Every structure is written in structure tokens, then in C-alpha cells.
Amino acid sequence: MNWDQVEGNWKQWSGQAKEKWGKLTDDELTEAAGRREQISGLLQERYGYAKEEANKAIDEFANQLKV
């Protein structure tokens, strides 16, 4: 699934993001609104991921979404 689809349906999938990345708050996920770069930054901040690691985690998340 491409990220444009994820961003367009973020309200539907933000719960799954919360399950995967429990350190992110509901407010942070709502504010990110599915924007990939913002989510990447949050993962780097909260989980200490390198940029490449955060992007890989985001790609894996998008590929595992239940449509």
C-alpha cells in the first residue's frame, strides 16, 4: 500500500499505529495526520530510531495494514 492511501485514511488506521508504537500519544498521531515525515520524526524522537530505521518501520507498517 502506498503512503498516499495511508495518509488519506489515517483516521481509520491511526489506532493500528497506536498499537504498534505505543509511546506515541493520541494527540501526536492526530496531529501527524498520516504525514510520513512527521511520523518519522516522532519515531526518531520517542524510540531513538535513525532516519532510515524509522522509514523502514513506516514502510513495514503500511504493508501490514488491514484494508
CATH number at residue 53: 1.10.1470.10
**pLDDT at residue number 5:** 86
State the pTM of this model. Answer: 0.87
Which pLDDT does position 67 carry in this prediction? 57
Q: Give phi and psi for 39, each to the nearest 5.
A: -65, -40
pLDDT for the residue numbered 35: 93
Torsion of the alpha carbons at 32, 7, 3 and 61, rounded to the nearest 10: 60
Number of domains in the chain: 1
> Taking Cα atoms as reference points, which of 35, 36, 64 lies closest to residue 51?
36
The pLDDT tens digits along the chain (67 residues) read: 778 888 888 988 899 999 999 999 999 999 999 999 999 999 999 999 999 999 999 999 999 886 5
492511501: which residue's cell? Answer: 5
Helices 51-64, 36-47: crossing angle, 10 deg rounding: 120
Structural domain of 49:
3-64
